[in-house]
Amino acid sequence: MNSTDQTILSCLSASLTQGEKPWLVTVVATIGSSPRPVGSLVAFRADGSQVGSVSGGCVEEDLIARLLAGEFNGPQVYLTDYGVSAEDNEKWGLPCGGRLELAIQQLDAKDLGWVKDAHHAMTARQTLSRRVSLASGETQISPAEQFAPLEKSNDTLTHCFGPRHRLLLVGAGQLAANLSTLALAMDYEVMLADSREWALDQWQGPEVEKILGLPDDVVREHAADEHCAVITLSHDPRVDDMALMEALDSACWYVGALGSVRTTEKRLQRLSQLGLSDDALAKLHAPVGLSIRSKTTMEIAVSIMAQLTQLRRESNVLVQSAQTAALGGR
């Protein structure tokens, strides 16, 4: 299953291969509440079909009409705002006070190369930087050491294509099934690891990649970079601790463990005795998830995905604040 961005790039590639001139629209700034974060993409083909979104639908409807009317034809990158006034917010159905700035780029045959390269890089879990001249639309891509938030200057737009966020769940069960369902809907790549073959055979959750093996080996091979999150769910310290030992000492951006406060205290003592530093142990989110008095497995899954979302959004607060200030000063 591809990520949304991979699907958008596939759409653009198919359109360009057929001799069309599709449009790539990028959310470059927001003010207030917004349906989609900065960096979100949507592709439009010549027949008005689209992949991706920038709003609940009203903005896209207007964009399609303007695109097909030829308003955004040509090599240069066009910038347009939605939600500048209260009337706009009501017309486009944006949240109260919300405002979007969009960059609209019409692609042609010369763009097919970088579109294919970007799709290949995402599939290979590599990061590329896309640099676009606003005046000419000329696009250059280059390897990037790490994913960086979108930046827009007076003459250039810089945007990264990076690996899809991967969620490795250790321990098959009903909670893992519910968590997989939510994570897939939120555009995560989900992997399920278990050392018990019968548990994987009896899996009743959505279609995910299932890996039979020792948990520390699986973490080391599949979930050791900064785009990965690892959550242990097995209730077996012999399994969970092996995965946590490896994950907490890796570049994973999130490591969580299911269990009560008392269970967490005992787990931290064991991991400390096994040699993990205080800094490594501080990375552990346990009990995993936000405290919402969850009881059922689906409620626990909701609390976990809410925590992942909260942490991902908080990491972008400073960047988005700077972008908002720049947009507000225009």
In a domain, 328, yes or no: no
User: Does 324 map to a domain?
Assistant: no
121 lies in a domain? yes
Domain housing 18: 4-161
Same domain, 149 and 260: no
285 and 157 in one domain?
Answer: no
Pairing state of beta strands 156-161 and 128-133? Answer: antiparallel
The predicted pLDDT at position 36 comes to 77
Q: Rounded distance, CA 247 to CA 293, Å?
A: 27
Beta strands across the sheet bearing 139-143: 139-143, 128-133, 156-161, 151-152
Tell whether 305 is covered by a domain: yes
30, with CB counted inside 10 A (0-12, 13-18, 19+), is buried
Q: Do 154 and 207 fall within a single domain?
A: no
How much is the pLDDT for 149?
A: 87
234 half-sphere exposure, CB direction, 13 A CA radius: 24
Number of domains in the chain: 2
- In this structure, the answer to whether residues 121 and 67 fall within a common structural domain is yes
* 152/204 same-domain check: no
* 268 and 216, same domain (yes or no): yes
Based on the fold, state whether residues 81 and 173 are members of the same structural domain. Answer: no
Residue 250 forms part of a structural domain: yes
Per-residue pLDDT of the chain (330 residues; tens, 9 = 90+): 678 889 999 999 999 999 999 999 999 988 776 667 888 899 999 998 999 988 766 788 889 999 999 999 999 999 998 875 556 555 555 555 567 899 999 999 999 999 999 999 888 888 899 999 999 999 999 998 888 889 999 999 999 988 889 999 999 999 999 999 999 999 899 999 999 999 999 999 999 999 999 999 999 999 988 889 999 999 899 899 999 999 999 999 999 999 999 999 999 999 999 999 999 999 999 999 999 999 999 999 999 999 999 998 887 654 445 444 544 544
CB atoms near residue 245 (< 10 Å): 19
What's the predicted TM-score (pTM) here?
0.78
107 and 18 both lie in a single domain: yes
The domain that holds 192 is classified in CATH as: 3.40.50.720
Note whether residue 43 is domain-resident: yes
- Contact criterion met (CB below 8 Å) for 175 and 298: no
